[in-house]
Amino acid sequence: MLDLTYELPKPKVISGAKHDWELVIGLEVHAQVSSNAKLFSGASTQFGAEPNSNVAFVDAAMPGMLPVINEYCIEQAVRTGLALKAQINLSSAFDRKNYFYPDLPQGYQISQLYHPIVGEGEVLVELGNGLARNIRIERIHMEQDAGKSIHDMDPNMSFVDLNRTGVCLMEIVSRPDMRSPEEAAAFVAKLRQIMRYLGTCDGNMQNGNMRADVNVSICRPGQYEKYQESQDFAHLGTRCEIKNMNSMRFIQQAIIVEAERQIKIVEAGGSVAQETRLYDVEKGETRSMRSKEEAHDYRYFPDPDLLPLEIEQAWVDEIAATLPELPDAKKSRFIADFGLSDYDASVLTADVESAAYFEAVAEGRNGKLSANWVINELFGRLKADDKDIANCPVTPAQLGGIIALISADTISGKIAKDLFEIVYSEGGDPAEIVETRGMKQVTDTGAIEAALDKIIADNPAQVEKVKVNPKLAGWFVGQVMKATGGKANPKAVNQLVAQKLGD
């Protein structure tokens, strides 16, 4: 079982202000569904394609074209909802969100305002040191992405690339439950991890496949508790929404910068205006984009081209039955079955590939030893080489072989590192390499004793020192290891040294 403390972390308090202030953060995460085709057309979603090459007539809003829903996308939203322990709404509907933008040829975005496909859920967010909290999910709705305006290709003209137009997004909306920048980033990271496990979104933030609108407000100590009790937003400060953040680091920076801006305003006697803002990475400040728009500004109405979306409980159950083991469950199982620490289990379950690799190594072997080798030696080596588990030159069977040799006392831990390096760079069967290159541990006490006797005879001064200070006996252990090329069994060496030099 996970040993987690379900308690509220201390909210981030901003220093340097006249009063104490606390942060309140709610996120709207846009996750692009990993589907080959768009939400309402058969056009490809391939990233980096020639501009305007993946555009169906309906994406370009040609007159008379009709949207046809992509069932695969619906399934991915349901899968994501189930993984977030959320209510799946068997009946949902699509609405038109009307606004003009050059990269939106329809003049509206098809979204789900009134009846989203996924309702309330939650996600466990861990903050290290066993501290974890459930962050509430308000809803997940599906919507189309817009295209992209390009302003930096020509001094006089702007261009529009519609490849992204109509690509399926899931918008995952949290409750304002996060209290620090770290927690907000951990929330985004956890969502990304879960969606990668599911395969519903690749979580690639650089490509914009996952991005977050970050809502930030400030309040005096005690106010948030009142909100929690009543769920009345009136206890909270006015929020500003920072749009389109696609880096964990910038999300955290922007939250702090925005909170400081709001504190300055309020402490100077002003009030925060509800706005949509942009984070300027270079200047390290948020800037107003537009005043906050309300639902009625968009004239939302049910899309007359699409029927309400009705799905069956049996289909939802089928999807639920095929969900993979999710990060929390996998982590708990690793702790229980392999005796791992919370930290090691977190590292090893960060992604499915690492977890599968570890399991293959650890199966039938010492779990902790396997975890140490995978995390410290293998991951360390891969990182130094700018590789990852997908192109790892050492198979689980090879690494498992090395670990088996250590456990059987055939090789010492030190030799195992040399062996690992050989397997990593040259390949081969670890047991065979140990055999052919004479790397076996020397457990023959006669040979070790002979080496030790010689060292004692050659170093009378050192022997005298050990008589005064027994702690210095370690020097002899080191010398024996050196003399045997690291192959002497350290246990046997320690015993012999104690026998001969101890009192």
281 neighbors 289 (Cβ within 8 angstroms) = no
Complex with Mg ion: residue 28 or 182, whichever CB lies closer:
28
Write the interaction track for ligand ADP spanning residues 241-260; mark x where CB under 6 A is met and - where it is not: x-------------------
Token pair recorded at residue 408 = 């059987």
Complex with ligand ADP: residue 256 or 463, whichever CB lies closer:
256
Write the interaction track for Mg ion spanning residues 213-252; mark x where CB under 5 A is met and - where it is not: ----------------------------------------
Best CA proximity match to 168, nearest among 85, 237, 75: 75
Q: How far is the CB of 177 from Mg ion (least distance, A)?
A: 16
Angle separating helix axes 396-407 and 413-426, nearest 10 degrees:
160
Size, binding site for ligand ADP by CB under 6 A: 17
Q: How far is the CB of 292 from Mg ion (least distance, A)?
A: 9
Complex with ligand ADP: residue 143 or 161, whichever CB lies closer:
143
What are the φ/ψ torsions at residue 226 (nearest 5 degrees)? Answer: -65, -40
The owner of tokens 């130094």 is: 384
Position closest to ligand ADP via CB: 26
Whole-number Å distance between alpha carbons of 167 and 210: 13
Q: How far is the CB of 116 from ligand ADP (least distance, A)?
A: 11
Instruction: Establish if 169 lies at the interface with ligand ADP (CB under 6 A).
Output: no
DSSP label of 51: T
Strands, E, within 226-370: which ranges? Answer: 240-245, 275-280, 285-291, 301-302, 309-310
Complex with ligand ADP: residue 115 or 440, whichever CB lies closer:
115
Angle at 393 between CA 392 and CA 398, to 5 degrees: 105
* Residue selected from 176, 396, 400, 486 as contacting ligand ADP according to rule CB under 6 A: 176
Position closest to Mg ion via CB: 28
Write the interaction track for ligand ADP spanning residues 4-43; mark x where CB under 6 A is met and - where it is not: --------------------xxxxx---------------
Residue 252 CA: distances (Å) to CA of 16, 207, 255, 279, 399: 18, 19, 5, 11, 38
Whole-number Å distance between alpha carbons of 149 and 157: 11
* Residue selected from 49, 236, 350, 360 as contacting ligand ADP according to rule CB under 6 A: 236
Binding positions for ligand ADP, rule: CB under 6 A: 24-28, 173-176, 215-217, 233, 236-237, 239, 241
Binding positions for Mg ion, rule: CB under 5 A: 28
